[in-house]
Amino acid sequence: MGELRRLDWIREAVERRVPSTGALFVSDVHIGAAWGDPEREATLCDMLANLPGSIQDIVLGGDVFEFWYEWRHVEPRLGRRLLVVLEVLAHSRRVWMIRGNHDFAIGENLTARGFKVLEDGLCLEISGKRWLCLHGDGMAPSDWPDRLVRRVLRHPVSQWMYRHLLHPDWAVGIALRTGKTSRAANPGPAPNISQYLKESVRWMQAYGLDGVVHGHTHRPLLWQAEGRSYVNNGDWCQMKSRVLIGPLGPELEILP
C-alpha cells in the first residue's frame, strides 16, 4: 500500500496529461553552487532564447537552483537573469518547474511569475505518446535515504522551523555550504543506473507510458526498446545536456 500511495501521482499525472507539440527538458543547473560551469546560467539563457518554434513546453526538471527557499518577503538572490528570460517565455509557452532535492521549496514566488510549479512531475502527450517527466530523487529502490530526506525536508513542521527559526542569510549560507559536499558530476552510467532504468520500464508498463525522462543523477543516458524510451537527462551545470521531445521521439543532446 505504501508503494502504491507513493506512486499515486503518476496515475494522476497520466489522467491529467497535457497535450503538447513538443517539449524541452533540462535539469540540474545548480545555480549558486560553487562547483560546475560558472557560465551555466548565461549559456542556459542563450539556449532558451533560441528554442525551435515547435517547443510548446519548457520543463525544468528540478535542481535548477543549488538551493531555493521562500520567506514572506525574501527569496534567494539566485538566477535573476534566468527568471527574467523564463518570464518572457511564459507569455508564449508553458514553463513547468519540478521541485528537486535541492530546490524542493520553490513555490508561490515563482508561480506568481507565471510558472507552473509541480511537486512530483507531469505527463505530456506528444503525437499520441505519453511522456512522464520528473526529477528522479528517490526513484530507484536503493534510494530510500533520498525518500526519507525528501519526507523530512518537505514536512510542514520542517518548513515552519526553517522559515521562522533561521535568519534568511544563515539559512541560505548553510544550504550552499552543505551543497559543496555534493558529488562532482562524472560522465558515464551511475552505479545504480540500472535500477532507474528498470523502475522506468516498470512504470511504462504499469501506467501506459511511452517514455520516462528524468535528471538527478547527472549521468546522461538514452535507452530505447519496443517503442518505449528511457532518458536520463544528465545535467546543465557541467555537461550542458538537454532533451528535446517531438513527434519522432526524444533527442538527448550535449551542447558544446
Q: For position 246, which CATH number holds? A: 3.60.21.10
For residue 186, the model assigns a pLDDT of 41
Q: How far apart are CA 31 and CA 21, in angstroms?
A: 29
How many CB atoms lie under 10 A from the CB of residue 40? 21
Residue partners of 58: CB distance under 8 A and separation at least 6:
23, 24, 26, 48, 51, 86, 89, 93, 94, 95, 96
Most confident stretch, 64-73, 89-98, 181-190: 89-98
pTM over 0.75: yes
What confidence tens digit (pLDDT) does each residue in 159-211 have?
776 676 666 666 666 666 655 544 444 444 456 778 999 999 999 999 999 99
**What nine digits make up the cell of 135?**
526529477
Burial (0-12, 13-18, 19+ Cβ within 10 Å), 217:
buried
- Number of domains forming the structure of the chain: 1
Q: What are phi and psi of 249, to 5 degrees?
A: 115, -165
Which structural domain range is residue 184 located in?
A: 2-192+199-254
For residue 172, the model assigns a pLDDT of 65
Find out whether 108 and 71 touch, Cβ atoms under 8 Å: no
**What nine digits make up the cell of 99?**
521541485
Q: Lowest mean pLDDT: which of 100-104, 123-127, 199-203?
A: 100-104
DSSP letters of 156-220?
HHHHHHHHHHS-HHHHHHHHHHHHTTSPPP-SS--TTHHHHHHHHHHHHHHHT-SEEEE-SS---
Find out whether 62 and 100 touch, Cβ atoms under 8 Å: yes
Q: How far is CA 138 from CA 101, 150, 213, in A?
A: 9, 8, 14
For residue 108, the model assigns a pLDDT of 85
Q: How far apart are CA 202 and CA 230, in angstroms?
A: 11
Average predicted confidence (pLDDT) for the chain:
86
Beta strands 228-232 and 221-225: pairing type?
antiparallel
Mean pLDDT value of segment 44-50: 96
Q: Is 124 helix (H, G, I), strand (E, B) or coil?
A: strand
For residue 7, the model assigns a pLDDT of 81
Read off the pLDDT band of 5 (50, 70, 90).
low
